[in-house]
Amino acid sequence: MLQTTPAQSLDEIYKTLRPEPLDTPETLQAFYQEAINNTRGGDKMRRIRLRLNRAAQDGIPFKACIMGHRGVGKSTELSRLIEQVQGDFQAVRFSAVTALDPGNFRPLDVVLLLMAEVAEQTAKPVAEGGAGQPPSEYRLKEIWDWFASEERVRTEAQAMAVGLEAGAGAESASLWANIIGLFATLKGEIKYASTRERTVVEYRVSRLSSLIEVANRLLDECNQLLRTATGKQWLLIGEDFDRAGIPSTRIEELFITYANIFQDLRAHLIFNLPIGLYYSTDAPRLPFAGDCSFVLPDTPVYTVEHHPNEMGRQALVEVLTARMDIDLFEPEQMMRAIVASGGNLRDLFALVNYAADSALLRDDPAPKIGADDITGAIVNLRSDYERRLGQSPFDQEEITYEQKADRLQAVYSGDKAAQVPDPVLYSLLNARAVQEFNSQRWFGVHPLVVDVLAGQGRIERLASGEVPGGPL
């Protein structure tokens, strides 16, 4: 867990500059900086909150997605949203990485997972965020009957129910206990989907439309139970669908081929999606209206003309000031880290952590982060970007380094044609070599990648040796 007071020594920095979301009221209060949003086109969560409240008042399910590079703070922003709407909504969050089998999940798995999570949460006491009672026997029987022909699942579910505690409000012999066992069985199966029989999946998919009907009736009832008990509605949030390890084929199947699933579900839904979908020709087929697809960009440290972006840099100074004693930097070294990060918080924290460890290893009685420490951190992270731009036998794409380098040069020079989405640009966006900034929607090359290109003679250095748009 994050330390919620600023680091006062180099040895404490790793406790406050971890690349993890601010997901509690305490960490949000301690570290969140509104200045970040002022530099990247405004507070997207305010707009989502407006539309969510409007949809809820009109009795319409709200559907939205959030996209952006890793490290821009998508999960943190969702935590802010949850805190801001907690008077009217009860959030259920799940991660595609931990709850699903990232390489093998199917659209049906997500539906089943949402059903299980909402039903179980509804049964919890009000003090624990539930409605204080499970769904009705009639609704539970619908779920049980949907699996009636799957003898193995029912048998395993009943065996699981016997071994479960009655802490979820179930008597050992009740239908609710069997449903708890069923959900536990299904969650295990979903988590390790690669081990299940293909015929099982195909059989369930053939009955998907009837499952959606069952799911909707369950969601309606759980929503009503929650409203009666607390005055709130359920808000379902699926995260980490943009993480490495989830094949694009799985994402395409879930949100494009079977987009009707989420269009038809009567629930408020928000998903984190890969930024590449935003630029895809399939984007109009997403189950989210165009004005409900929100991109969170990086914080700009340069302008489109390659001049310092003072507002963006100051916002990142505020981020670091909230998390550490900035006197732990020698003069000018904090700004070098900020510029080299390209405004990506994950990169910024990685740079500072690496530099802090380097300073500690010098055995100085009063160490501070100096020029050599920052230089070493920059070299280390720059090497990561160089590797991302290269090719490996494990890469599925067939885009050459020359294609990437040519496109990077064109983006850097401001060529508008170079910003038209295609496989090359997708590849560079996924590698974070190309960044998108604020509401003006302009693309920039990450400063460390600018530095790489300059080292190869593809971008000219100034007489001072500096590269416009590259790290100091």
**With contact defined as beta carbons under 8 Å apart, do 265 and 215 qualify?**
yes
Query: Hey, where are the domains in the chain?
Result: 42-295, 310-455
Asked whether the predicted pLDDT for residue 152 surpasses 80, the reply is no
pLDDT tens readout for residues 390-431: 765 555 667 888 999 999 999 999 998 998 888 898 889 888
Which is nearest to 242 in space by CA: 125, 363, 95, 385? 95
pLDDT tens readout for residues 305-320: 999 999 999 999 999 9
Predicted TM-score of the model (pTM): 0.88
How many Å apart are CA 39 and CA 36, to the nearest integer? 6
Asked whether the predicted pLDDT for residue 359 surpasses 80, the reply is yes
Q: What are phi and psi of 130, to 5 degrees?
A: -105, -170
Asked whether the predicted pLDDT for residue 79 surpasses 80, the reply is yes
pLDDT tens readout for residues 326-342: 999 999 999 999 999 99
**346 token code pair:** 């994950």
Residue whose token pair is 């703070």: 73
Instruction: Indicate the SS3 state at residue 329.
Output: strand
Q: What is the side-by-side strand order in the sheet with 233-239? A: 89-95, 233-239, 268-273, 63-67, 293-295
pLDDT tens readout for residues 431-460: 889 988 875 578 899 999 999 999 999 998
pLDDT tens readout for residues 363-395: 888 899 999 999 999 999 999 999 888 765 555
Rg of the chain on CA atoms, in Å: 25
Q: Annotate 221-271 with three-state secondary structure.
A: HHHHHHHHHHCCEEEEEEECCCCCCCCHHHHHHHHHHCHHHHHHCCCEEEE
Mean pLDDT estimate for the chain: 88
Instruction: Give the residues across from 171 on adjacent strands.
Output: none
